[in-house]
Structure 1
């Protein structure tokens, strides 16, 4: 048998009113939804490295950069013959970067600097 006095509507009404009240407070404080391009603070952290979309290869360092995949493979073969582990990655501009571990980067750059592949 349903209650006849209507008190069962009081709980949901209070919940809706509270959510509306909190929404109005947050809107007044300026906590509004924004689109990804509407970040007014973007100019402040433009130069910080953590927000930079530059070249990040994790634990690897670039040893050489080239436009030709064949040349990148020749460099990798040269480094492999010297006992240096390497890999290659494509940059956003289409060039290939030969990557090595940081402790082997200087030796790899010396070897690649005198390479006839370049």
Structure 2
């Protein structure tokens, strides 16, 4: 976990002590192909760091169809904007149908404790 944080763009410039504290709070989660990570409109209680596979960003059209509007690759943060601001999710995140996804989960509660 710690080595991954060293290379994650979202934590670039953070102190070694902060990253050490944060790494203890990370939990690995495996998502199977097409498994939903979070839904649009959910409150952001966690953010995810993608360690392998692909995560699709999905929006629902006015007619109710799901459309992939982007894909996130290894090293990407997933759901970080909503997480940082305590907002509802801006999109649905789903593990790619071909690759699935493995992520490190950081809970908002753990993150706020590290910040203290």
TM-score bucket (shorter structure): under 0.3
Greater helix content: 1
Higher relative contact order (CA 8 A, sep 6+): 2
Which one has the largest radius of gyration? 1
Q: TM-score, normalised by structure 1?
A: 0.21
